[in-house]
């Protein structure tokens, strides 16, 4: 895929070219939105809005990393949505069973390829990770997700958040430290390889 | 354990993990790591935390987020509607204002009141006034008419009540018409009597007048045109009506122009307003 050619065609109004870029980056943007928002529905909305915004503002892309540019857009969309939610808090609709109790692991999250034990472990770990991410301040969370979950280097992360490298370094270190403290509370859940030294 | 490590040292440890330290900083940190065991533990914890984060599987998008032309074209349609709506609204408002101005101008030119009919009432009233002067003794026999003393028809008896209310201009106009009628009657009298007999012979002014036994002349409803106010042409009325029409032609032309202009403005105002409303509703749906 010639990314630059697709971007150039998309800037001329070729929607098919832009949609090929969408297909290439939709997993990344959705994952980023999910880790920042913590909800799949909200992440879907944020991802769709981010792509619409990207298409409308494609002319403002002035080269560099297209991935970082897209991540910046979806991050800003998530920021806006989280700020809006803070102003107008809502009660999320949780899946309930027949006794009106919340279902911890909804059926549609299950992966039929894995065993029940694996699914339980994965979902528990995933929940622990999301719990700790949710407790991070938004600025720290963004950098941790960009660098440690998506594997961006410092320069790309700097482009994605629009801040200097020093800010990325600082926020990442403080974010990791808080994540370490938070994950220490889930010591039994973590696989032995990831258990903290001070816990063991 | 963490209390003995400063934030700067945590930042250096984090950057060291990612290979982001400069050579000097890296050498300094490595020396600290050999000297301070808590630093080594902190570095291990940070590495495990980072590895745990990186071990998480990447989430897949639950659906495709490709844009449909509808999604991508939202802004284009909004731009179109946002351009067309104010233009159409302004056109509608302008046409409405012009309509009011033209209407007021029309009222000022023609005067308030029953302006549609006043031009036609003059000949009609005149006609009826002449008709009403026929005496009770008028009892025509088929083919001939009873003679009436000449004093029965005078200018003073030709009353045009509605014209008097229309102002001096119309009054003078009607007087001219009455003069014309009386002259025609006199001319007819002279031609028939040779000037010897003073009494005129009344003839039906129109073939549509029916002589009623008992002395009353009745005007058939079908003779009077409700729209124009004109009587069907007859010997006498045809002459005076034509003259009157020629005299009033410019005024009639002016009023017709005004009417056409008013209709055009009404159509523009309504159509532009409806189009603006339609665009507004379409824009809201988007």
CA dist., res. A189 & res. A195, Å (int):
9
Give me the pLDDT at residue B133, please: 52
Mean pLDDT of A168-172: 95
Q: Mean pLDDT across the stretch B225-250?
A: 62
- The number of C-alpha atoms within 13 Å of A8 and in the hemisphere containing its C-beta is 5
Q: Last residue of a domain, which of A39, A69, A91? A: A91
Q: Cα-Cα-Cα-Cα dihedral of B57, B58, B64, B66, to 10°?
A: -170
A63 domain residue, yes or no: yes
Average pLDDT of the residues in B79-88: 73
Do residue A30 and residue B59 have CB atoms under 8 angstroms apart? Answer: yes
Say what the pLDDT of residue A91 is: 59
Decide if pLDDT at B182 tops 90. no
Nearest-CA distance from A23 to chain B in Å?
A: 7
Pair A79, A130 in one domain: no
- Which chain A residue's Cα is nearest to B52? A194
pLDDT over threshold 50, residue B115: no
Q: How far is A135 from chain B (nearest CA, A)?
A: 15
User: Is a pLDDT exceeding 70 seen at residue B39?
Assistant: yes
Rounded to whole angstroms, how far apart are CA atoms B204 and B201? 10
**Residues A110 and A158 both lie in one domain:** yes
Same domain, A157 and A117: yes
What are B150-165's pLDDT values in tens digits? 545 444 554 545 444 5
The Cα B249–Cα A94 span in angstroms is 84
In a domain, A120, yes or no: yes
Domain boundary residue, one of A31, A61, A91:
A91
Residue of A58, A173, A174, A187 best to disrupt the B interface, most CBs of B under 10 A:
A173
Q: What is the mean pLDDT of residues A135-161?
A: 92
CATH number at residue A47: 1.10.1740.10
Residue A98 included in any domain: no
CATH number at residue A147: 1.10.10.10
CA distance linking residue B1 with residue B46, whole number of Å: 13
The percentage of residues in chain A with a pLDDT greater than 90, rounded to a whole number, is: 53
Query: Helix, strand, or coil here: A49?
Result: helix
Higher pLDDT pick, B2 / A86: A86
Selecting from B52, B64, B74 the residue whose C-beta is nearest the C-beta of A194 gives B52
Q: What is residue B1's predicted lDDT score, i.e. its pLDDT? A: 46
- Statement to judge: residues A197 and A118 lie in one domain: yes
Domain, as residue range, for A175: 104-200
Predicted confidence band of residue A157 (pLDDT cuts 50, 70, 90): very high
ipTM of the predicted assembly exceeds 0.90: no
Domain match, A1 and A23 both: yes
* Judgement on whether residues A9 and A56 belong to the same structural domain of the protein: yes
Whether residue A97 lies inside any domain: the answer is: no
A99, part of any domain: no
A33 and A124 together in one domain: no
Q: What's the confidence (pLDDT) of residue A195?
A: 67
Q: Which of A26, A153, A173 minimises the CB distance to B14?
A: A173
Among the candidates A41, A56, A91, a domain finishes at A91
User: For B259, what's the count of Cα atoms within 13 Å in the CB-facing half-sphere?
Assistant: 9
Q: Which of A124-133, B66-75, B84-93 has the lowest mean pLDDT?
A: B66-75
Q: Supply the pLDDT for residue A105.
A: 47
Measured in Å, how far apart are chain A's first and last C-alpha atoms? 47
**CA dist., res. A68 & res. A146, Å (int):** 9
List, in order, residues 6 or more apart from A52 with CB less than 8 Å away: B67, B71, B72, B74
Q: Binning pLDDT at 50, 70 and 90, where does residue A51 land?
A: very high
> Chain A partners of B13 at a C-beta cutoff of 8 Å?
173
Coil vs helix vs strand at B64: coil
- Mark yes or no for CB contact B51/A169 under 8 Å: no
In this prediction, residues A83-108 reach a mean pLDDT of 60
Measured between alpha carbons, how far is B268 from B258 in angstroms, rounded to an integer? 15
For A140-171, letters b (16+ CB in 10 Å) and e give: bbbbbbbbbbbebbbebbbbbbebeeeebbbb
Q: pLDDT averaged over chain A?
A: 83
Report percent pLDDT > 90 for chain B: 21
Instruction: Give residues with Cβ within 8 angstroms of B168, minimum separation 6.
Output: none
* Segment B177-191 mean pLDDT: 72
Chain A contact set for B11 (CB, 8 A): 169-170, 173-174
**What is the arithmetic mean of pLDDT over B213-226?**
48
Contacts of B74 (CB under 8 A, 6+ apart): A52, B286
The pairs formed by B27-33 with CB atoms below 8 angstroms and a separation of 24 or more are: none
Handedness of CA A179, A185, A186, A190 (dihedral sign): positive
For B20, nearest residue in chain A (alpha carbons): A154
Number of domains chain A contains: 2
Interface of B with A in 75-114 (CB under 8 A): 75
Tell me the per-residue pLDDT of B165-180, one tens digit each, with 9 for 90 and over: 555 666 677 677 778 7
A12 and A65 both lie in a single domain: yes
Q: What is the reported pLDDT for B65?
A: 93
Strand B217-218 relative to strand B210-211, pairing = antiparallel
Distance of CA B108 to the CA centre of its chain: 19
Return all residues near B164 (Cβ < 8 A) that are at least 6 apart.
Answer: B171
Contacts of B39 in chain A (CB under 8 A): none
> What is the pLDDT confidence band of residue B106, given thresholds at 50, 70 and 90?
confident
Residues A197 and A110 in one domain: yes
Any bridge partners for residue B147, and if so which?
B201
pLDDT-based confidence at residue B215 (cuts at 50, 70, 90):
very low
Highest mean pLDDT among A68-72, A120-124, B224-228, B250-254: A68-72
Same domain, A82 and A149: no
What pLDDT shows up at residue A77? 94
Chain A residue with CA closest to B66: the answer is: A19
Per-residue pLDDT band for B105 (boundaries 50, 70, 90) equals: confident
For residue A184, the model assigns a pLDDT of 82
Q: Report the range of poorest mean pLDDT among B37-46, B75-84, B266-275.
A: B75-84
Q: What is the pLDDT of residue A66?
A: 93
Are residue A110 and residue A196 in the same domain, yes or no?
Answer: yes
A interface mutation test: which of B55, B61, B64 has the most A CBs within 10 A? B61
* Same-domain pairing of A121 and A194: yes
């Amino acid at each position: 895929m010639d990314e630059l050619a697709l971007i150039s065609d998309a800037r001329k109004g070729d929607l098919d070219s832009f949609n090929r870029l969408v297909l290439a980056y939709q997993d990344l943007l959705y994952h980023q939105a999910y880790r920042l928002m913590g909800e799949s529905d909200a992440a879907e909305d944020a991802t769709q809005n981010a792509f619409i915004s990207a298409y409308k503002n494609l002319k403002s892309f002035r080269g560099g990393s297209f991935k970082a540019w897209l991540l910046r857009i979806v991050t800003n969309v998530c920021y806006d949505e989280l700020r809006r939610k803070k102003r107008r808090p809502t009660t999320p609709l949780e899946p309930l069973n027949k006794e009106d109790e919340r279902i911890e692991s909804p059926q549609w999250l299950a992966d039929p390829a894995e065993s029940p034990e694996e699914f339980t472990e994965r979902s528990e770990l995933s929940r622990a990770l999301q719990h700790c991410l949710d407790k991070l301040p938004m600025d720290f969370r963004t950098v941790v997700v960009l660098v440690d979950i998506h594997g961006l280097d410092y320069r790309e992360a700097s482009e994605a958040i629009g801040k200097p490298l020093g800010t990325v370094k600082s926020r990442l270190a403080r974010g990791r430290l808080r994540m370490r403290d938070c994950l220490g509370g889930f010591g039994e859940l973590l696989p032995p390889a990831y258990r903290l030294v001070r816990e063991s | 354990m963490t209390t003995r490590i400063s934030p700067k040292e945590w930042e250096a440890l984090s950057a060291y993990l990612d290979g982001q330290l400069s050579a000097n900083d890296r050498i300094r940190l490595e020396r600290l790591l050999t000297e301070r065991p808590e630093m080594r533990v902190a570095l291990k914890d940070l590495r495990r935390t980072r590895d745990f984060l990186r071990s998480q599987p990447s989430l897949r998008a639950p659906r495709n987020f490709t844009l449909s032309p509808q999604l991508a074209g939202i802004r284009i349609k909004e731009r179109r509607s946002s351009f067309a709506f104010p233009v159409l609204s302004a056109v509608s408002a302008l046409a409405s204002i012009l309509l009011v101005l033209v209407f007021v101008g029309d009222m000022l030119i023609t005067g308030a009141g029953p302006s549609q009919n006043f031009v036609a009432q003059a000949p009609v009233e005149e006609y009826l006034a002449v008709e009403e002067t026929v005496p009770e003794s008028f009892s025509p026999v088929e083919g001939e008419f009873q003679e009436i003393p000449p004093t029965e028809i005078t200018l003073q008896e030709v009353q045009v009540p509605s014209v008097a209310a229309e102002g001096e201009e119309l009054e003078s106009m009607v007087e001219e018409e009455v003069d014309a009628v009386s002259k025609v009657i006199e001319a007819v009298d002279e031609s028939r009597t040779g000037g010897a007999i003073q009494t005129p012979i009344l003839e039906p002014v129109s073939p549509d007048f029916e002589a009623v036994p008992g002395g009353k002349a009745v005007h058939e409803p079908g003779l009077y045109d409700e729209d124009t106010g004109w009587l069907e042409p007859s010997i006498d009325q045809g002459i005076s009506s034509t003259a009157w029409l020629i005299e009033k032609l410019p005024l009639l032309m002016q009023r017709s122009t005004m009417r056409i202009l008013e209709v055009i403005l009404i159509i523009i105002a309504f159509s532009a307003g409806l189009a603006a409303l339609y665009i507004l509703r379409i824009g809201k749906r988007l």
